[in-house]
Structure 1
């Protein structure tokens, strides 16, 4: 019995030495990306005015044999934006093609690197590009406004 208690005490000491109490809880999720598709001339949201239907959106990754990418469409209060929150959970490069029905709207390239520093994990974005379309980043909302004709 005495040997068992000694082994138990040694086990607890070893186990406690592996624990780093200085880290605490520290996790930063990656940035999500939102896109509003608007008419270049009028500035109208093309989902709100009925030009596009949200059921016809497809997003694929050109780097991975046009693998479908998860996204959501936010229609509450007629906001009507495409929202992608699956990028940056790991180190990755994506080159997304965003299509609505038969229309290629734009490409979205992201080079993301997941890092751990001082016990905290976060995503560092090496490159973020909207390609094949005019756009403007709304710095207040963080939404990319994509202009189409």
Structure 2
């Protein structure tokens, strides 16, 4: 049902690109979706009005290049240990370091960070916040839950 609501929101907002995490695999089985290697993140050009191309794909991460922006969709399961969490952030950091455009990172890192609107910072939040500082990103969508958007 949530994917149906997203579809309606896309129409209402006239969105060009849709990035979803923790996706319904049946929903994205339709053509047009680009999916990461784990099936956790999907990106679709919903308008057909923009030019984009896939630049990087790994488990829990997709990066697509638009005219002036690199958009990264990311997901890290709460079941990943701290080493896997750090490895995934290292991959994202490498993609960002090689970007020659503005970067926006959207996703669910299953972490808590005061910088992202949480009441406290947990171990994952500290690692995420440190990485974001290293690549000069800041949180633009502060949320009480685990989803954060960084640019």
Does the TM-score normalized on the shorter chain lie above 0.5? no
Between structures 1 and 2, the one with greater strand share: 1
Say which one has the larger Rg. Answer: 1
Please report the TM-score for the alignment, with normalisation by the length of structure 2.
0.29
Between structures 1 and 2, the one with greater helix share: 2
Please report the TM-score for the alignment, with normalisation by the length of structure 1.
0.30
